[in-house]
Structure 1
Amino acid sequence: MELRLFIVACIMYAFTLITRKISKMEHFKNPIIFGLWHFVFLLLILSCALFIFLFVMGGGAGGLFPFDKFLIGEVIVLGVAIYGFIAMQKADAAKQEKTLKSDLDWSNTVYFAGFVASIVMFFFLQAFKIPSASMRNTLMEGDHLFVNKAAYGLHIPFTDKYIKAKDVKVGDIIVFKFPARDRKQLNCGGQTQYGRDFVKRVVALPGDKVEIKDGHLWVNDEAVPQQPYELYTDKFRVTDIENDDPKLYQKLWQEHKLDSYIGSELKDVFGPVTVPSNNYFVMGDNRDNSCDSRFWGPVPRKNIRGKAWFIHWPIKKIGFIK
């Protein structure tokens, strides 16, 4: 989202600079040129608003926009822009001057707000909407929350590096970019998750040995005590899956391809695997209905957006996330 806001801010900043230059050259005295420029302004600012609106309504999870909604929105935007062009053909000089001032004011407001918001969201805070039931009952579908992006350190822009502040701990609920390596990679029931943001709980750290036996977590050959937030719904369990080649098993898991070979049984019987350096093993609290590290592998440190921090909607759930 922060990159989208930054792009919007850059577009509106460029529009403002060009508008001021053309205005000084007095080209706007021509009604057709002024009308076309107002058309471009409406097209840009309304398209940017639609762009952000669809992203937010889609949950901010990094997925593609619904094409039908985007198309309908753009048709409306185009209609408004055409109306603005026609209206400016009939406007007198005073009306044109007032419209130009309004266009510039809006452009200045949008690019300034966009730059500030993108900086805040890139380094400190990001809004996120829970897209699925995998974190029930800790986080429910539709919950809106803030992600603390500075919880583990500051990300250096346009790199995979960061200035470390705190270590990721077992029990932390994190938001991260799905670790797929290409757009065509299929996970979670044959779906592409590339570029999406996920939210899960960290259950194992780099170097830990992880297994799932009868649906329950084991770390470093010890059963992890069941926590109050864990939810189990399945009555029947797969009790055994052949693992004749541990090295291949580990390799497929680290390459995020294991679920393509084994499938849904991984929720009951998994591993053992060793979490690689600078990677983490994450699971959903709704253990029987979560597509997580059991299926698609470890989460690299560079993919972590931040720590789930505060629920701000619905009102009855407002509070810090534990």
Structure 2
Amino acid sequence: MSSSLLIMGCSESSIPTKPPTDNIYHDYYGLTYHSPAVTMNTPGSTFWVQEIVSDFQSTRRGDEPDSFTAVPLDSSCRVPRPSSGAEVTFIEIGGGTVKLPLHFVDIPHEGEQIPGVNQGGGRGIKMKQASQVRRVDVIIGENQAPVYLMLSAYSETLWVLHVSENVDLEGVAVVGYEAQGLTNVPTNTKVGFVVYGKPQQECWKGEVGRPVDQTWGAFERLKDKRSKASFEKEINDAKKQYANFQTWVRWHIGHPDTIITAYTTSHVLVGAKPKTPIPYQSLKSQKVLYTPTVKPMWG
């Protein structure tokens, strides 16, 4: 699977003049398709991220975050649960499309030190197990009720939050197969991480459910080019994996009010479009929370 960018539309703060509906071009097992500039819960409707985040900028090497903080993982996969009155949204993606100058370096064994790699440093060091992280912006529009998010990705992702004024983001659960990061988190927001590996390998099997509608819809359109047995097995395995994931996440978090899915995306809107664009905050001034299964390396 490969993914390539056709029109980014996020390298400058001005709103692009081209339509945002066919923003990103992907190649998925030989199938090409487009996805919207901003993924949202209203099919067929989208807009540029610059319309909802003012002065939006792409990330540059000089935007190294202020700090990196590892969040301890609960061995029972417990995460903060939403309150009874919260608006619960699940965001489920395969991964992001925008590469960052950030790598997550695998730690082979718990407590093992990697010479020369410090949190947020170590540019130029060659590592066999380093994966480049992709950025996904989550924009939270106006909402009267408290908001709770479950952010799920298969690949290494840095989730960047943009919260509208007066919105109570009460909790965020980040669930991934690979290492995950989260930044621009409001002060009183509770955060929990679940990823595949120690110490959560017993309570979390890593069956992150990549969205069926786009991922396996691609196979539907390719079935004439594949053997029937192979095609049916992949479809059945995907549906089983997704069903297992949904059962697991509902057991640990609860039932969602909204599910937003995309195989790949750069920006996701939760709730209504903000009446006033949210001011952009550079990563340079932020603290990045991340899973302690890796070491972050910027540069």
The interval holding the TM-score normalised by the smaller chain is under 0.3
Q: How does the TM-score come out when normalised to structure 1?
A: 0.21
TM-score, length of structure 2 as denominator length: 0.22
Larger Rg: 1
Higher helix share: 1
Structure 1 or 2: larger strand share?
2
Structure possessing the higher relative contact order (Cα contacts under 8 Å, 6 or more residues apart): 2
